[in-house]
Amino acid sequence: MPLISLGHRGAMTIRELADALTHSAMSQTVSAMLHEGLVRGVAGADARTRQVTLTKRAHALLPLLEAEWRSTERAVRELEGELPHPLSAVVRDLEAALARGSFHDRIAHHLASQERSS
């Protein structure tokens, strides 16, 4: 989705991308896209910001990415129609549960419990 947003809106700061996509790890996502040669960073309006813009390679991928995104959304809607609970609600509930305790922390807790009982 970040590539599609950049393709439609043009250069954006990482903060703008994060705000637009509500993604808490946007800087890591941008780093991965930089590493893959899909975006490049340019100096922003002040020293605290950097704008991210698509490379030619990423522009060439946009039609495929957009088609995959639309197909993914359709597949999710299809799955939701087959499930007793909306998949989006399950994901929200899972996010809330993980905010209360990360999966890593839960595993560590169970490992510690096993070590104590051994």
Which residues in 4-49 belong to E strands, given as ranges? 12-13, 39-43
Give residue 93's pLDDT band: very low, low, confident or very high (50, 70, 90).
very high
pTM for the predicted model, two decimal places: 0.55
Q: What is the domain partition of the chain in residue ranges?
A: 2-82, 87-117
The pLDDT assigned to 24 comes to 52
Q: Which two tokens stand for residue 49?
A: 């910001």
Q: Which two tokens stand for residue 4?
A: 């599609």
Domain 2-82 CATH class label = mainly alpha
Instruction: State the Cα–Cα distance between residues 26 and 110, nearest whole angstrom.
Output: 31
Residue 63 has pLDDT above 90, yes or no: yes
